[in-house]
């Protein structure tokens, strides 16, 4: 992590090197920052320059330079000192991930009378990267084998059908540990910890309530991040591509007599992948990508999210929501090869069982996300 330091006590600025620098200030905490484009700036503050605990105000992906930042929540006293850091410029995201841009989206829908998807509300979501594909056997094995040789202990691991198929029957806890191992393997700071000070990395099999560093490492998407990503930049549609579904668009179990938006001419599993040996998974990337370049955001396997499952949604707009503070089961999203068209809807949501439950029948897998520039 490199540092471009601009410190202010509502006064002078000191710039170092070619890193981002604050170039002007005002008595209201408003200042202009000059930075390279495409990187992530983290704006921090403290109230005493003798302390070492700088507090994070926000992370911003730089889309124009210079740009103006306003600390709208700054109190009249005590004075605040500010600095700007460049995050993770030596750790670019893998080519197998897609950038989900920052911005608002409308979460939920009113199309099918689904009370768990209401009320409609607008969420402002920060930019993040997401795996283009569900985690495959090849990727799982690469990280898992590295992890178990370095002290990681998994509850069960994951089942898999073929190298280019998604893994399945993986617990929520094991997904978190796998994400941490992927981070450490690539030299990134992990996201999940067993202590509030975030000094003990979550690597073993205990069923703990992890503490999360939201600005570092691979992790499961929040439910809001998942739905924003699944919609691919469009809103109001039932599926990532439109209002109807067929076997040509997703791997799911058809039942057109029950769902008028299921436009298959017959019922049953997708014949292209029904080989007589369950689960009837499809290779990742078998169907067209959505508007963000993501595959299988509907069908194939459902995917674990971070949030506890509950409904109805809170009313009113939110910024980067992370769900309820407690519950019994975590959210799964996206439908699967064995479930009907209704489960493939972008707004569909349900719980995946208790957290140490190993989902059977090959229905639930996952994909990971990565904060930008960390």
Tokens of 334: 């996206």
CB 11 within 8 A of CB 25: yes
70: β partners: 30
Residue range 315-363, pLDDT digits in tens: 889 999 999 999 989 999 999 999 999 999 999 999 987 666 666 678 9
Task: Round to whole Å and give the CA distance between 134 and 321.
Answer: 23
CB atoms within 10 A of CB 57: 18
Please give the average per-residue pLDDT across 272-278, as a whole number. Answer: 95
Average model confidence (pLDDT) for the chain? Answer: 87
CB 202 within 8 A of CB 182: no
pLDDT of residue 11: 30
Residue range 27-71, pLDDT digits in tens: 667 889 988 776 777 788 888 887 656 676 777 778 788 998 898
pLDDT of residue 315: 86
CB 104 within 8 A of CB 124: yes
pLDDT of residue 12: 29
Please give the average per-residue pLDDT across 301-319, as a whole number. Answer: 94
Q: How confident is the model at residue 176 (pLDDT cuts 50, 70, 90)?
A: very high
Q: When comparing pLDDT for 121 and 205, which is higher?
A: 121
273: β partners: none
Tokens of 237: 């549609």
Q: Identify the CATH class of 92-374.
A: alpha beta
Out of 109-118, 196-205, 254-263, pick the least confident: 196-205
pLDDT of residue 27: 61
Predicted TM-score (pTM) of this structure:
0.77
Task: Round to whole Å and give the CA distance between 28 and 76.
Answer: 9
DSSP-derived 3-state class of residue 172: helix
Task: Round to whole Å and give the CA distance between 92 and 173.
Answer: 26
pLDDT of residue 52: 59
Question: Where exactly are the structural domains of the chain?
Answer: 2-87, 92-374
Task: Round to whole Å and give the CA distance between 198 and 181.
Answer: 16
Q: When comparing pLDDT for 137 and 359, which is higher?
A: 137
Residue range 277-303, pLDDT digits in tens: 999 999 999 999 999 999 999 999 999
Q: What are phi and psi of 146, to 5 degrees?
A: -65, -40
pLDDT of residue 75: 83
Out of 172-176, 202-206, 222-226, pick the least confident: 202-206
Residue range 75-125, pLDDT digits in tens: 877 888 888 877 554 457 888 999 999 999 999 999 999 999 999 999 999
Q: What percent of the chain has pLDDT over 70?
A: 88
């Amino acid at each position: 992590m490199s540092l471009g330091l601009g410190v202010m006590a509502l006064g002078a600025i000191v710039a170092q090197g070619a890193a981002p620098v604050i170039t002007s200030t005002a008595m209201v905490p408003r200042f202009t920052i000059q930075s390279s484009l495409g990187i992530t700036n983290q704006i921090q503050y403290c109230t005493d320059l003798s302390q070492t605990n700088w507090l994070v105000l926000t992370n911003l992906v730089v889309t124009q330079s210079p740009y103006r930042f306003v600390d709208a929540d700054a109190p009249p006293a005590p004075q605040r000192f500010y600095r700007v850091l460049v995050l993770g410029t030596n750790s670019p995201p893998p080519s197998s991930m897609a950038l989900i841009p920052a911005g608002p989206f409308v979460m939920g829908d009113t199309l099918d009378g689904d009370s768990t998807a209401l009320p409609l509300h607008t969420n402002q979501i920060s930019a993040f990267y997401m795996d283009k594909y569900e985690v495959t056997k090849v990727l799982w094995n690469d990280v898992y084998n590295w992890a178990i040789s370095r002290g990681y202990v998994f509850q069960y691991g994951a089942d898999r059908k073929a190298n280019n198929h998604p893994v399945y029957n993986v617990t929520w806890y094991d997904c978190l540990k796998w994400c941490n191992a992927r981070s450490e393997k690539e030299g990134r700071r992990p996201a999940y910890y067993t202590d509030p000070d975030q000094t003990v990395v979550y690597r073993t099999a205990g069923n703990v309530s992890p503490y999360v560093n939201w600005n570092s490492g691979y992790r499961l998407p929040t439910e809001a991040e998942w739905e924003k990503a699944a919609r691919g930049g469009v809103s109001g549609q039932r599926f990532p591509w439109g209002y109807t579904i067929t076997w040509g668009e997703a791997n799911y179990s058809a039942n057109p007599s029950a769902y008028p938006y299921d436009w298959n001419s017959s019922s049953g599993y997708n014949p292209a992948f029904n080989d007589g040996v369950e689960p009837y998974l499809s290779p990742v990337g078998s169907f067209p990508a959505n508007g963000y370049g993501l595959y299988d955001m509907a069908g194939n396997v459902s995917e674990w999210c971070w949030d506890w499952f509950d409904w109805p949604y809170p009313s009113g707009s939110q910024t980067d929501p992370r769900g309820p503070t407690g519950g019994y089961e975590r959210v799964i999203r996206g439908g699967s090869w064995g479930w009907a068209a209704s489960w493939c809807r972008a707004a569909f949501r349900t719980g995946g069982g208790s957290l140490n439950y190993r989902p059977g029948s090959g229905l639930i897998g996952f994909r990971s996300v990565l904060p930008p520039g960390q």
